[in-house]
Chains A and B, each alone.
Chain A
Amino acid sequence: MANPDLAKLESIAREGRAQIIRMLTHAGSGHPGGSLSAIDILTTLFFNRMRYDPQRPHWEDRDRFVLSKGHCVPAQYYCMAKAGYFPMDRLITLRKLGSPLQGHPDRVMLPGIEAATGSLGQGLSVAVGMALGQKLAGRNARVYCVVGDGEIQEGQIWESLMSAPKLGAPDHHVDNLCVILDYNGIQLDNFVKKILDLEPVTDKLKAFGWPVLEVNGHDIAQVDKALDQAEATKGAPTFIVAHTVKGKGVSFMENDPEWHGKSPKPEEAVRAIQEIVGSPAPGWVALIVAEIAALGKK
């Protein structure tokens, strides 16, 4: 979108990082690394791109967001709370009994979640179907899907990557679909390169018929510009390879496979939040730090 308010978006993303740490610390489990690598992308989508109305989560003409890498849903829960789907207080119910903030996204329990994901490889196919569905219905709405780099090792991803550029031709091309790869280079067991290297991933995607854009996934201006280009592309869906850093924003988590799926201890969380927000810290920080400190004393 023209002239994004970068300072505002960066501030939302910074708060998101702190809230992700807060949520995971309260939950005592979860996936910080990939949530932190994806938050700038999600911030750009939720606060400078997608059309939606938290008061009407089932509004037919809304743009849709599918987090195919469902384990990083804390980043999405933060964006949804910030956007007004539910109160921020509820974030700390993540993974607790009875909470709609399930460990992986639940479409039925939490209005605003578009598809259950978490079994990797499936969300992209569902997003492709949604994009086709909106075209068939004549709705001018877009579908955004974030996939993980480890995730695209799944065969089902490549089924949909093969079919989407041609699907719906000649009248209903799914050019309303934009897929974003959160390419942080780390999966659960180790670095992606050591488990099953994706390279040359851009060449593979191009060979499958996708227009491919590459951006720094932490540079909101770059991400936003690529989303503009995707929206302007007609006749085919667009794929954005977003180069990211796993654990981005927390020095001791960055680029370390250990932080794929481990929640911080309270003292680590306080350190992480202080590092994220810097000084002087905004007013809300003291409260969440106190809450976390109290957890440590339990």
Chain B
Amino acid sequence: MAAKASRAAFGEALIELGAKDERIVTLDADLSKSTMTGGFAKKYPGRAFNLGIAESGMIGVAAGLALTGHVPFACSFACFLTGRFETIRVSVAYSDAPVKLVGTHVGVAIGEDGYTQMGLEDIACLRALPNIPIVQPADEHETRQAVAYAVEHPGPIYLRLTRQNLEPVHDAAYRFQFGKADVLRPGHDVTVLATGGPVWNTLEAAKKLAAEGIQAEVVNVATIKPLDEVAILRSAGRTGHVMTVEDHSIHGGLGSAVAELLGEVMPTPMKRVGVTTFGESGDLKGLYAKHGLDPDGIAGAVRKLLAR
């Protein structure tokens, strides 16, 4: 499988799922070319609704569609979508309207457009709501399955998708399971929990570390909420060191979720790798290097953690 952006895999999956399930409809706020729902709109024009640059209204309309038996995918850049937090909070979450929220263009990885377009706080926002699961697939294969799962999930759910291409980290036999983390590479010195865009880089970092005799266990956390507590505690119990890697603020994202779990259940030396500042314009490679999300940065953070 070639590298593909999870937003592109989402768009393709939606067309396939839409053929079988007439309940599926899409809503966009003038970014359908970017969220990749354009193909669905072309194939099923009567089931795709572009609400204009009006995200709050779009989310509300999606709630109404969900409450009349449809399966609406409400799509925009993650920052614009979760920026309408109050509408998600009341009309989607509190109403328990099974809206499928899809936030694309997550993280500093979007690059040149700069901070205002980067989804860096979306997980933090939605994690505070009691009934919205958060799923961030790591490659095309996982994305297709996560989208299919979202259709079947009985309540609201949030899918977090990338603009950039993702190298495959799963083989064809992999089966996405909602709420389950999957071990991509076993190891016994440190547990590295990664999600989304930087998962591939984390595997690359593990290879570098292995050459130095450090065996990192790399775990892909596709379901950020609810967290796979059992798998994380089991791995952490074995390795005694935990690191998280995400293209999101370290405040409120995967790192926070894991820190909360370990802090309450099994305090373990830990390091959160992620974004600690506003984003900025630049190229993906340069930005990942700057924020420590490239293989060198991730490997370096592991060495530091183990040397503590």
Interfacial residues, chain A to chain B (CB-CB below 8 A): 60, 106-108, 114-119, 121-134, 136-137, 139, 155-156, 159-160, 162-163, 167-168, 171-172
A116-B90, A118-B90, A119-B89 known; A107 vs B95 contact (CB < 8 Å): yes
Whether a CB of chain A sits under 8 angstroms from the CB of B113 is: no
Q: Chain B's interface: helix, strand, loop or mixed, by majority? A: helix
Chain B residue at smallest Cβ distance from A156? B56
CA distance A94 to B152 in the complex (A): 36
Q: Would you list 26 pairs from A and B whose C-beta atoms are within 8 A, ordered by A residue?
A: A107-B94, A107-B95, A119-B87, A122-B86, A125-B57, A125-B61, A126-B60, A126-B64, A126-B91, A128-B64, A129-B61, A129-B65, A129-B66, A129-B68, A133-B68, A139-B68, A155-B56, A159-B51, A159-B54, A160-B54, A160-B57, A162-B54, A162-B57, A163-B54, A167-B49, A171-B46
Q: Is the CB of B60 within 8 A of A133?
A: no
A122-B60, A129-B65, A132-B64 known; A108 vs B95 contact (CB < 8 Å): yes
Give me 11 other A-B pairs in contact (C-beta within 8 A), A122-B90, A129-B64 excluded: A60-B69, A128-B60, A129-B61, A129-B65, A130-B68, A132-B61, A133-B65, A136-B65, A137-B69, A162-B57, A163-B57
A131-B64, A136-B25 known; A107 vs B49 contact (CB < 8 Å): no
A136: B residues at CB distance < 8 A: 25, 46-47, 65, 68, 70
Q: Is the CB of A172 within 8 A of B67?
A: no
B65: A residues at CB distance < 8 A: 129-130, 132-133, 136
**Most interface-central of A106, A114, A122 (chain B CB within 10 A):** A122
CA distance A156 to B61 in the complex (A): 11
Tell me the minimal C-beta distance from A265 to chain B in angstroms: 32
Residues of B95-116 whose CB lies within 8 A of A: 95-97
The answer, among A126, A134, A160, A163, for a CB contact under 8 Å with B95, is A126
CA distance A130 to B64 in the complex (A): 4
CA distance A117 to B96 in the complex (A): 12
